[in-house]
Structure 1
Amino acid sequence: MQTALQPAIKTSVVACIIDSQSRILLTRRSIPPFFGQWVMPGGKIDHGESIASALQREVQEEVGLQVEPAELVDIYEHLAIGHKKDHYIILYYRARPLTLQLRINPAELSEAVWFEADHLPTLDVPPGCRQVLARLYPEVNWPRLQPPGDDADCEIPGLCPLP
């Protein structure tokens, strides 16, 4: 007997961690989604978990930092994605690092680097991440800046094929 697919709302939180020198922390993923690309640390919000707690937990799990969540930078919403027609909401929050010693989780990441703004446009980042970086660093020239559009599936955890 086949059960009907239930639509779901999946919510993730991403930390835009900017240090006192205006550098941003990006991580290179070693697993899908975003395999091999630079992204900001983050992940799903567990049922019953606050946004701030999820952000702090995900950052601690991925890069070993303690952070203080600050303001909301942007929200990405994707409707009817994949065969389950899932609804994704991705919240990008600015965060201030309370500690600076990086300890990457090798099960998810190959590296974590503090980048200065002028280096950001040369990096391989997903379109949504590029949009958020452009919002955080409007003074930078973003030659490949475009909205996610039809390629929005690659913004969603688990839907990007391996390169």
Structure 2
Amino acid sequence: MDFSKQHIKTSVVAVVIDENERVLLTRRCIHPFCSLWVMPGGKIDHGESILEALHREVREEVGIEVKVEKLVDVYEHIGVGEKKDHFVILYYRALPLSFELTPNGAECTEAVWAAKESLPAMPMPPGGRHILTKLFPELPWGEVAFPEGALEEEIPGAPLRAAEDA
């Protein structure tokens, strides 16, 4: 097997939920998933611990500090983009230690504290929906219809699935 041809990227995402069950979401402005609502996160740098990366990504994207609680789940996106990248994403639940959001403009253009009731209607990648469905199973996740192709438009032809389905 030629490992040099693999494009596997390990990322970490903060599922920041406040005491009122509002979730921190950002409007992503880079590929993949440009224009969709996502939770702050990104790639783990070589030599950086998972939790160091999580704290760094949240600070860089929205300018707040968080307290990490626990791993929620792992999700993977397979065959993303022209290079057919493979993303393995670790989602950690976290509590906000501050609330004033400052989107960096380089990765996200907006940041909001979204009420949990509004989450099913917000366009987001399948990984984010999967994680939030696990955390808020009482919400009507399957009842919201998006325009055809709305969630796939940023990664044409890419099969998406949860790690547990792999």
Normalising by structure 1, report the TM-score. Answer: 0.81
- The question of 1:152 aligning with 2:151 is answered no
Question: RMSD value over aligned CA atoms?
Answer: 2.6
- 2:95 is the alignment partner of 1:77: no
Shift in alpha-carbon separation, 1:127–1:144, aligned structure 2, 3 A: farther
Q: Distance in 2 between matches of 1:123 and 1:108?
A: 18
Unaligned runs of 5+ in 2: 145-151
Identity across the alignment (%): 54
Q: 1:72 to 1:81 in 2, by over 3 A?
A: same
- TM-score normalized with structure 2 length: 0.79
1:143 match: secondary structure: helix
Corresponding residue SS for 1:93: strand
Q: In the alignment, which residue of structure 1 is the partner of 2:57? A: 58
Cα offset, 1:88, TM superposition: 2.6
Residue type at the aligned position of 1:17: V
Q: Which residue of 1 aligns with 2:90?
A: 91
Summarize the Cα distance change of 1:45–1:38 in structure 2 as closer, same or farther, 3 Å threshold. same
Classify 1:34/1:78 alpha carbon distance in 2 versus 1 (closer, same or farther; 3 Å).
Answer: closer
Inter-CA distance 29–91: structure 2 relative to 1 (3 Å threshold): same
The SS at the match of 1:110 is strand
SS at match of 1:102: coil
- Kindly report which structure 2 residues correspond to 1:102-113, keeping only aligned pairs within 5 A, or say none: 102-113=101-112
Which residue type is aligned with residue 34 of structure 2? F
Deviates more, 1:88-97 or 1:37-46: 88-97
Q: 1:111 to 1:17 in 2, by over 3 A?
A: same
- Code of the aligned partner of 2:140: N
Q: Which residue of 2 aligns with 1:137?
A: 136
Letter in 2 for 1:92: Y
Q: Secondary structure at the match of 2:141?
A: coil
**Are the aligned partners of 1:5 and 1:84 in contact in 2 as well (CA < 8 Å)?**
no
